[in-house]
């Protein structure tokens, strides 16, 4: 790759999409709290489809990446692209692992996490250091007992796939015409339908383990939404309605909160719902969000705050969920007895995310941008 020295100009920011990412991130935390009370039973889960927020995040990422970089490749090398993505995402990956390691022994449980008590400190530190790189660990290296590729901070699995998507985009997919990209997106949509409707689970839950089954889930969840987001950005078919942020917030809340469809004998019903959401509803929400305008200062401020804390919430909240899960199951806590603590987990997750953002993420990213990133001109 040849060196490119031309400055890169900034673009319009989609504040509504930032706000929607924050709404979805908070719903993810609430989903995990309710999941604990349901003991992982997907048929009884309140805020049942909260895990679909990950698929929504992938679509948002594809849309934003294409919008930000599709027309910049004449001024930008692949390495410059990778630097920008690493600077944006990697500092909080590291912080999420640090928080996970700091809280690890507080999550000890004979019932849920029996491996924790016997795990030596050196091994926790080693897993943390490897986690800094997002290199996935096999189930044999799991120190918790859930088989996660990142035992200290489970949701980091989606960042692993996010990086894969960015590499695929930079190396290959950015070069495709819209027609060729549409063919790939159609194939990826068929993969989603095949897994959810005709598969054995009836949902897209999974992707966090380094084995053939879970990698299949992860790539199925990644490929359609990310590259559909790129295609949506390229086509520019946005929808303009009044109150777009609030309308989309209500819609994404409904989508993620609806109860599971069908039962153990009709798994296809829920799979059909999730395919419909991933393939049609999420692109619709993004098209409305990107096409909307914010007319008042209050809505703008809400979107900015939600957007700023969305990624920190997502990547730092789960160590608290590990602790909360152990507490609920070990003590047989019912929702009636534990809902206040659950609310506290949500609030604490937001506070931790905000503190990480202001005291760590923003300063570190600013330093990295000044040192390693090409100057942005107005």
How far apart CA 62 and CA 223 sit, in angstroms, is: 10
As for how many domains the chain has, the answer is 1
**What pLDDT does residue 377 have?**
46
Does 236 map to a domain? yes
**What pLDDT does residue 10 have?**
64
Tokens of 77: 């090398």
Does 333 map to a domain? yes
How far apart CA 26 and CA 363 sit, in angstroms, is: 24
Average pLDDT over the chain, rounded to an integer: 94
- pLDDT, tens digit (0-9, with 9 covering 90-100), for 220-263: 999 999 999 999 999 999 999 999 999 999 999 999 999 999 99
Q: Is the pLDDT of residue 286 over 70?
A: yes
Q: Is the pLDDT of residue 39 over 90?
A: no
Does 6 map to a domain? no
- pLDDT, tens digit (0-9, with 9 covering 90-100), for 317-342: 999 999 999 999 999 999 999 999 99
Average pLDDT score over residue span 284-311: 95
Give the pLDDT band of residue 374 (cuts 50, 70, 90): low
Does 35 map to a domain? yes
**What pLDDT does residue 107 have?**
97
Closest by CA to 374, choosing from 162, 19, 87, 127, is: 87
Does 2 map to a domain? no
Range of the domain at 296: 15-370
Average pLDDT score over residue span 109-130: 96
Does 375 map to a domain? no
| φ, ψ for residue 10, nearest 5 deg | -75, 165
- pLDDT, tens digit (0-9, with 9 covering 90-100), for 152-195: 999 999 999 999 999 999 999 999 999 999 999 999 999 999 99
Does 1 map to a domain? no
Does 139 map to a domain? yes
DSSP structure class, residue 152:
T
**What pLDDT does residue 1 have?**
36
Give the pLDDT band of residue 4 (cuts 50, 70, 90): very low
Which segments within 22-164 are labelled E, that is strand? none
- pLDDT, tens digit (0-9, with 9 covering 90-100), for 49-60: 999 999 999 999
Q: Is the pLDDT of residue 3 over 80?
A: no
């Amino acid at each position: 790759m040849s060196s490119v020295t031309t400055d890169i100009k900034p673009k319009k920011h989609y504040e509504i999409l930032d706000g929607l990412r924050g709404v979805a991130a908070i719903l993810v935390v609430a989903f995990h709290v309710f999941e604990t009370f349901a003991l992982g039973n997907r048929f009884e889960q309140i805020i049942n489809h909260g895990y679909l927020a990950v698929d929504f995040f992938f679509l948002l990422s594809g849309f934003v990446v294409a919008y930000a970089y599709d027309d910049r490749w004449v001024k930008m090398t692949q390495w410059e692209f990778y630097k920008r993505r690493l600077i944006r995402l990697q500092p909080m990956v590291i912080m999420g692992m640090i928080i996970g390691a700091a809280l690890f022994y507080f999550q000890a449980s004979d019932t849920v996490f029996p491996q924790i008590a016997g795990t030596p400190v050196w091994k926790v530190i080693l897993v943390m250091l490897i986690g800094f790189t997002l290199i996935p660990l096999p189930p044999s290296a799991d120190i918790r007992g859930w088989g996660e590729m990142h035992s200290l901070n489970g949701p980091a699995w989606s960042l692993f796939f996010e990086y894969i998507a960015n590499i695929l985009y930079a190396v290959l997919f950015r070069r495709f015409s819209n027609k060729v990209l549409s063919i790939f997106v159609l194939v990826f949509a068929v993969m989603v339908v095949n897994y959810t409707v005709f598969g054995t689970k009836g949902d897209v839950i999974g992707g966090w383990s380094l084995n053939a089954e879970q990698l299949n889930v992860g790539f199925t969840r990644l490929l359609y939404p990310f590259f559909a987001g790129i295609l949506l950005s390229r086509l520019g078919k946005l929808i303009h309605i009044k109150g777009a942020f609030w309308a989309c917030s209500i819609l994404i809340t409904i989508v993620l909160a609806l109860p599971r469809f069908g039962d153990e004998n009709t798994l296809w019903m829920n799979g059909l719902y999730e395919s419909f959401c991933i393939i049609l509803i999420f692109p619709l929400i993004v098209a409305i969000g990107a096409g909307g305008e914010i007319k008042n200062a209050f809505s703008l401020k809400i979107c900015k705050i939600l957007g700023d804390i969305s990624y920190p919430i997502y990547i730092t909240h789960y160590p608290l969920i590990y602790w909360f899960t152990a507490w609920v199951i070990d003590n047989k806590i019912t929702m009636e007895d534990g809902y206040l603590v659950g609310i506290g987990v949500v609030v604490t997750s937001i506070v931790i995310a905000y503190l990480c953002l202001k005291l760590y993420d923003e300063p570190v990213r600013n330093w990295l941008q000044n040192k390693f990133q090409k100057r942005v001109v107005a």
